[in-house]
């Protein structure tokens, strides 16, 4: 296992609407093993912040003992950013990457979405479809998708029924307060409709490549 440190530009020109005024806004230092950092932003800031984080150079494995692994994927029909219903059953015969994320326009979720979007053509070549799901509204998804020019579909699960079915709607603790939220997770659904791989508590950096490599391995395509 190789351990090293690296620097990256975390944020540049963060608008106020992407922050929560009057409270501590979390700076997401995303890497293998570490996810930390807090600063307070009371107003609008335009700045560039460079931060150093430590990471381990090894892939995040899927979860071989997950209770959903090998079972039929919970079916769903949810609205996309254009208010059109998208149903998992309609994708039978394809590999489907269903990834759940906490919130539109947050740093980690933006990075994850961009990573999948940049790999969209490669997933398509492997016969795979990418679907993102969160508890955000259709309107929020529309703004997020347009802002990031996403090349895949994101679905709105405002009543959290699908999040619960996949076991990703969980109790969380933030700043001492306990509430419910989405645990960042990814499920690879096979052409037969069963769940072929599961990643829970996902680390964002490199995750899209991990999923892509898993699809390549299981599909036998290059």
> Looking at the annotation, which residues are catalytic?
109
Greatest distance between any 2 Cα atoms in the chain:
51
What is the distance between the alpha carbons of residues 176 and 152, in angstroms, rounded to a whole number? 35
Vertex 205: Cα angle to 188 and 66 (nearest 5): 35
- Closest Cα partner for 129 from 139, 138, 121? 121
Vertex 35: Cα angle to 58 and 65 (nearest 5): 55
In this structure, the strands spanning 77-79 and 128-134 are: unpaired
What is the distance between the alpha carbons of residues 37 and 30, in angstroms, rounded to a whole number? 10
Residue with tokens 């029924």: 161
Q: Is 17 helix (H, G, I), strand (E, B) or coil?
A: helix
């Amino acid at each position: 296992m190789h351990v090293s440190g690296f620097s990256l530009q975390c944020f540049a020109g963060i608008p106020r609407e992407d922050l929560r005024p009057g409270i501590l806004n979390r700076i997401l230092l995303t890497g293998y093993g570490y996810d930390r950092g807090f600063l307070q932003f009371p107003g609008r800031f335009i700045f560039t912040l460079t931060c150093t984080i430590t990471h381990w150079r090894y892939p995040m494995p899927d979860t071989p003992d997950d209770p959903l692994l090998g079972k039929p994927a919970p079916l769903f029909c949810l609205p996309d950013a254009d208010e059109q219903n998208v149903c998992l059953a309609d994708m039978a015969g394809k590999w489907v990457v269903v990834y759940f994320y906490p919130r539109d326009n947050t740093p980690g979720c933006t990075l994850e979405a961009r990573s999948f979007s940049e790999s969209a053509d490669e997933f398509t070549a492997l016969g795979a479809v990418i679907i993102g799901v969160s508890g955000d509204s259709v309107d929020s998804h529309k703004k997020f998708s347009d802002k990031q020019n996403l090349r895949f579909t994101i679905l709105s699960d405002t009543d959290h029924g699908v999040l619960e079915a996949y076991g990703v709607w969980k109790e969380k603790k933030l700043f001492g307060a306990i509430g419910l939220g989405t645990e960042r997770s990814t499920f690879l659904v096979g052409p037969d409709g069963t769940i072929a791989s599961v990643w829970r508590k996902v680390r964002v950096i490199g995750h899209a490549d991990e999923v892509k490599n898993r699809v390549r391995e299981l599909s036998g395509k290059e």
